[in-house]
Structure formats: C-alpha cells, structure tokens
Amino acid sequence: MTIDPDQSELASRYRRFAFQEASGRSPLYEHLAAKAAEDAAIIALIADLPQPKQQPNLLFAAYRHILGVPSDYSEFRRGLTDRFDAVRSIMLERSTQTNEPGRCAVLLPVLASLPQPLALLEVGASAGLCLFPDRYGYDYSSKSLRPPKGAKPYPVFPCRAAASVPVPDTLPQIVWRAGLDLNPLDAGDPDAAAWLETLVWPDQEERRNRLRLALGIVAEEQPTLVQGDLLGPEFEALCRQAPQDATLVVFHTAVLAYVPSTADRMTFADRVSASSDVWICNEDPSVMSQFSFTAVEAPSQGAFLMSVNGQPTAWTDPHGAWIEAIADVETSVLSSAGGRL
Ligand SMILES: C[S@@+](CC[C@H](N)C(=O)[O-])C[C@H]1O[C@@H](n2cnc3c(N)ncnc32)[C@H](O)[C@@H]1O
C-alpha cells in the first residue's frame, strides 16, 4: 500500500517532526514519526481526523494516555490499530497545551532588566506555569539563581546563556500575575496535571520531574487564569486590572502558531502594543514573518525568536535550554517602550 497522494503532505509533516523536531530530543518519537510517515495505513487513519488534530505530538500523547509508552513502532502500530477509537476520542477532546516552565529561563534576562516591580500577563498560559519565574531556580552557564530559603520545593532549569546575555543577579519582583487561555488548565487537577505530564516526551525524565515541581507550586498558588481568545475582550479587561504602579509585561511563548491568520496576529500585536508597557513575544520566527523578523539568521533549526516590543532581541531554545542575544536586551527594552510606560 502506498501513501495516497492527497495524504502526502501529512506524511511529510510526520517526517519533518521526526527529523527536525524530535531528532536529538526524543529518539522514541523520532523513530515513531519516521516510521509512521512511511506507513500508508497509519497515515490514512490520521488523515481521517480534522486537520488541526493531526499533529504528531497530539497523536503520541493520546496513545500514551491510553496505552502507555510503546517500546517500538510495531507495538505502537498494533496498539493504535486496535484502539484507534479510544485514541481518536482523546485527540478530539484534548489539545497540545504543553506548558513548559523552563521557558522562564529565557524570559528572565528581559524581566529582570525592566523597571520593577512587574505585573505579568501571559497570553496562552495553559496552566500558568510560566507566570512564576520568581519561584524557580536557574543554572545559567555563568551563574545560578535560587528563590529565597524556605521556598516550596522548586525546579532548577539549566540554560546555556551566551556571554552577550545579561544574566541577572536577582529574581524579578512580581506583584501581580494573570493568564488568558482558550482552555485554562488547573495545575491542581490531577487529570489536567497527568495530561501535561504526558505531553512531555517520553525520553525526557528530568524535564518531567521539573514540570511536576512547577505544578506543585502553581497548584498551591492558584493564579488567575481567564478563559478567552487572545483577540477577545478579556485581554484588554485583564490589562486594565494590572496595578498602575507596576510595569505591565504581556508575554506569550509557543502560542501564535495556533493562530492561523496573519491578520489576526497583526491585530493582536497592535492591541498588545497599545495596552502594555512591555511586550515579550517568544515564538517560532515563521509566525512573525509579517514583522520582517526572519532577516536574522536562526542559529539552529526550530529556534524561537524572542522579540521585545517588536525588536528582535534573542534566539532561544523552544524549551528554554539556551539563549543567544541578537540585540542588547536593555537597549531593546528601553528604546521601544509600549503603550503604558
Ligand atoms: C503550546 S501551549 C503553550 C503554553 C505556555 N505559553 C508555555 O509556553 O508553556 C499553547 C497555549 O496557547 C493557547 N491558545 C492557543 N490559541 C489561543 C488563542 N487564540 N487565545 C488564547 N489562547 C490560545 C492554548 O490553549 C495553549 O494552552
């Protein structure tokens, strides 16, 4: 059986996932996606799902949710074929809301360089784990930072920071925080927490342990997480709630890829600029091509581009494992203040 020509783009998507996203990060996911990309019967099963639900990440997480971690492709193929209805219903019901608190390590140099204290508003917050950069520890190449003694057990995020990145000596002072999401998750809900853990790739045990510690902190803190679309009225309403005497930082990481329309992303950018003091956008550079950000060469495939108030400022690892400055972080921030400063 050969791949149906109508499904060849889907097969390519699984191949790209194997060799561009999973390669070097998860040998198991690389193996599963590479094999699935050549398997006409499996591609036909996936093609039957609505297009936004055909993601490799979602398929593998839904499979693991029902059947656990497969040891190889033959086990995966057998399980998926036998239990496709159950896997399919998880895929339809849930989405890839992967919440990666390690991204705080690349946000921190910008956050710490701003006038303190800060009010943080995260758009596309999932369970809100990135709203607590002041509650985690960090091991950068040149120095380490830890929360004050007596803090609840916290994860420590390793991050290779290039010499050009101003790694702070202290954690930022955050006096207000809130998140907005289409489907906010409650870190204290065991089912939501289990799904977030399943979204971490199987070969990444340390990442999963750090996620668990972050979930413990956020479950206790119960941040304000509002349900709404980033283009809906909830966004401006939340901005208005932030205290006037704090620097209002609106940020988002790994969210705009879920907003397919360029016009919608532009409208969102205009609204953030008008309503915040500082806008941090940490996303795949392709979603920002309308701002001409792609002129800067990415240091590696899949790198995120962090821009501050519309200025390309750093290349970052999508999970926060490294950061390389493009422009001077402090200059970027100060030369391009947003609507409230
Ligand atoms: C991949 S997760 C990233 C979560 C978090 N920002 C992080 O970096 O860990 C993307 C999140 O964006 C949310 N999202 C996608 N489109 C959205 C929209 N139009 N408005 C609000 N939230 C959205 C999803 O529900 C999901 O929780």
Could you identify the atom of ligand 1 that is nearest to the CA of residue 185?
27
Q: Same domain, yes or no, for 133 and 24?
A: no
- Asked if 332 contacts 279 with a C-beta cutoff of 8 angstroms, the reply is no
Pocket of ligand 1 (CB under 6 A): 96-100, 103, 124-126, 130, 180-183, 229-230, 253-255, 258-259
- From 93, 124, 154, the end of a domain falls on 93
Q: Same domain, yes or no, for 117 and 228?
A: yes
Q: Same domain, yes or no, for 22 and 39?
A: yes
Residues 44-75: tens digit of each pLDDT: 999 999 999 999 999 999 999 999 999 999 99
Cα–ligand 1 centroid distance for 117 (angstroms): 25
> Does residue 341 lie in a domain region?
no
Residues 24-34: tens digit of each pLDDT: 889 999 999 99
Q: Same domain, yes or no, for 165 and 38?
A: no
Q: Same domain, yes or no, for 124 and 27?
A: no
For a substitution probing ligand 1, which of 201, 252, 258, 319 has the most ligand atoms within 8 Å of its CB? 258
- From 67, 93, 119, the end of a domain falls on 93
What 3-state class would DSSP assign to 177? strand
Q: Same domain, yes or no, for 77 and 122?
A: no
Q: Same domain, yes or no, for 45 and 109?
A: no
Residue 291 has a pLDDT of: 60
Instruction: Please list, in sequence order, all residues whose beta carbon lies within 8 angstroms of the beta carbon of residue 194, skipping any fewer than 6 positions away.
Output: 65
Residues 76-118: tens digit of each pLDDT: 999 999 999 999 999 999 999 999 999 999 999 999 999 999 9
> Does residue 340 lie in a domain region?
no
Residue 24 has a pLDDT of: 86
Confidence band, pLDDT 50/70/90 cuts, at residue 331: low
Res. 335: pLDDT tops 90: no
Q: Same domain, yes or no, for 120 and 207?
A: yes
Residues 166-195: tens digit of each pLDDT: 999 999 999 999 999 999 999 999 999 999
Residue 214 has a pLDDT of: 98
Sheet holding 322-325, edge to edge: 144-145, 137-140, 156-161, 322-325, 311-316, 304-308, 278-283, 247-253, 118-123, 174-181, 224-227
> Does residue 258 lie in a domain region?
yes
What's the CATH number where 152 sits? 3.40.50
> Does residue 232 lie in a domain region?
yes
Of residues 37 and 331, more confidently modeled:
37
Q: Same domain, yes or no, for 254 and 315?
A: yes
Cα–ligand 1 centroid distance for 13 (angstroms): 21
Residue 220 has a pLDDT of: 97
What total of structural domains would you count in the chain? Answer: 2
Full residue range of the structural domain in which residue 118 is found: 101-334
Residues 230-274: tens digit of each pLDDT: 999 999 999 999 999 999 999 999 999 999 999 999 999 999 999
Res. 341: pLDDT tops 70: no
Cα–ligand 1 centroid distance for 287 (angstroms): 14
> Does residue 25 lie in a domain region?
yes
Side-chain-side CA neighbours of 339 within 13 Å: the count stands at 16
> Does residue 339 lie in a domain region?
no
Residues 283-330: tens digit of each pLDDT: 998 887 766 555 457 888 788 999 999 888 999 999 999 999 987 766
Q: Same domain, yes or no, for 149 and 281?
A: yes
Q: Same domain, yes or no, for 114 and 209?
A: yes
Structure token pair of residue 318: 């999508």
> Does residue 263 lie in a domain region?
yes
On average, the pLDDT of the chain sits at: 93
Residue 245 has a pLDDT of: 96
- From 30, 62, 93, the end of a domain falls on 93
Residue 242 has a pLDDT of: 98
Q: Same domain, yes or no, for 308 and 254?
A: yes
Res. 339: pLDDT tops 70: no
> Does residue 49 lie in a domain region?
yes
Of residues 162 and 149, more confidently modeled:
162
Return the closest-CA partner of residue 152 out of 132, 172, 170, 166: 132
